[in-house]
Chains A and B, each alone.
Chain A
């Protein structure tokens, strides 16, 4: 027996030992970490993307701010103050745009993660690895959160300089807590989208649809009170709504009200549980549906 044959036999023995001792788990954190690192490694290869994503959203949201200036004059309007309780609609909008970047990322990146893997031709090999699919999604979500945090901070800094707005830096701690909770709730939301994309395939239209509906329901450039009552109920089910309202209040007023904050955190916790539950169920259903039809690698 040659050395190569011996090595091959040993490695097969190791492999079979691993596979024999393998037990299905709900979550594999090691796999999530590996996947997150893999995605981050790819992302770091394109450093310009971090900067571009810090500037590009500005081109999308600036028309809203310019429109408000054209309709109401620079900075404020009586009706807006009565409706929202805030004076300056530019300060009001920019912090919400910052928070909304995470929603956008969860829809476009995490939700579409398996689609991108499909385009790269790595989806089927990924799906035959003995790790829970959710851990792959969590890994992708984690790497995207890190990338998004960097780009969103660039966006916030540039917007603040460009429009001359300032926020209460002392409120960073509760803002980070609320932002983290929202990000966790969004992970569940993105699992739901990932499941839908496995079923419907065509990501551009579905993602555009979800992204635009979520945008309308999120109180970014207008207060929640500006929405029709039915839309308001739907709006509070979107994780970003509570986060935007709370973070905006903290960042603009610089006042921390424990009871209001705990209420918001409680609601966010309920959303985390709800979205993770629905998201995992929807993803598993989508995965089984696709596997049964043998259309996993199909376009």
Chain B
């Protein structure tokens, strides 16, 4: 080892602080982008994915409504414009799935590539691996939201209130904290069960089912309405749509923000504790690289 290399090695080992962790997370995020963009089909899928999810909903809605207005939805959710209601609500699907699957399976992906142990021995916080993946999925899913909303505005006549954009982004930021808690819990399942995709599929699909993306929660059976109220995705979807449809005049803001803060604290604390415990447990068992 040359002296220069040795100094770099020493510097790397003495690195500390939030800035260093952020740089490591950013490097992980950039690395995932590079891998994704090297598959042309992945790029194509990324572009068409938001449309392919939204179009069947649009056709189904048109088949039952017969136009762009719904009196039933007006009674349930206070808006006649079902296309805008669904377009904004479902635009969060991509971001949610990206966070759940992308972040939850980040360690598994590295394991499949044979790089997990190498990464675990680098001088960074273990959870930074998951945070880096989350950073990537936030960009990936966020671009998907923009793409779907942009296409909905251009092609399907969806209108959004520009004054609501910044508060809506604030809501997304709040939602990410709670969803990161879920993603950390999913990471634990993956670490323990290795595959565990079926459990993850149940959790993700269940969360999406009870979230008011394409319908208000009042159409759900009563028991599922309780579950829905305990999910950060419910409050964030409602508030995100509320701001983008009504701008600053959105009335449910205080209730949504308080609920989100409480749920964020609970979900994140539980998820983080679960992750710390599971990661230690798996390392102690020496099962980190096991398939």
Contact = CB atoms under 8 A, between A and B. Distances in A.
Interface of A: 52, 56, 59-60, 62-64, 66-73, 77-80, 83-84, 89, 200, 202, 205-206, 208-209, 212-213, 215-216, 221-223, 226-227
A200 B41 contact: yes
A205 B42 contact: yes
The 7 lowest CB-CB distance pairs between A and B, nearest first, are A79-B66, A70-B215, A59-B205, A72-B64, A222-B63, A212-B52, A226-B63
A216 B213 CA distance: 19
A212 to B, nearest CB: 4
B202 interface: yes
Nearest to B62: A226
Interface in B204-257: 205-206, 208-209, 213-216, 219-220
A212 B53 contact: yes
A68 B206 contact: no
B211 to A, nearest CB: 9
A269 B258 CA distance: 60
A100 B137 CA distance: 31
Given A80-B64, A202-B39, A70 B45 contact: no
Nearest to B64: A72
Interface stretch (B69-77, B145-153, B270-278): B69-77
Nearest to A231: B59
Contacts of B64: 68, 71-72, 77, 79-80, 89
B215 A63 contact: yes
B82 interface: yes
Nearest to B70: A71
Interface residues of B, number: 41
Contacts of A208: 45, 49
A67 B202 CA distance: 20
B61 interface: yes
Contacts of B219: 66, 69-70
Nearest to B53: A212
Contacts of B70: 70-72
Given A70-B219, A212-B52, A222-B56, 4 more contacts: A59-B208, A63-B213, A68-B60, A69-B215
Contacts of B72: 70-73
Nearest to B83: A71
Contacts of B44: 205, 209
B55 interface: yes
Contacts of B61: 67-68, 71
B8 interface: no
B37 interface: no
Contacts of A227: 59
B79 to A, nearest CB: 11
B60 A222 contact: yes
A9 B89 CA distance: 71
A79 B63 CA distance: 7
Nearest to A119: B112
B269 interface: no
B277 to A, nearest CB: 26
B143 interface: no
B65 interface: yes
B154 interface: no
A79 B41 contact: no
B52 A59 contact: no
Interface string B67-107: 10010110011000010001000000000000000000000
B21 to A, nearest CB: 30
A70 B85 CA distance: 11
Contacts of B12: none
27 contacts: A56-B198, A56-B202, A56-B205, A59-B206, A60-B205, A63-B214, A64-B57, A67-B61, A68-B61, A70-B72, A70-B73, A70-B219, A72-B70, A72-B72, A79-B63, A84-B63, A89-B64, A200-B41, A202-B39, A205-B39, A205-B45, A209-B48, A212-B52, A216-B52, A221-B56, A226-B62, A226-B63
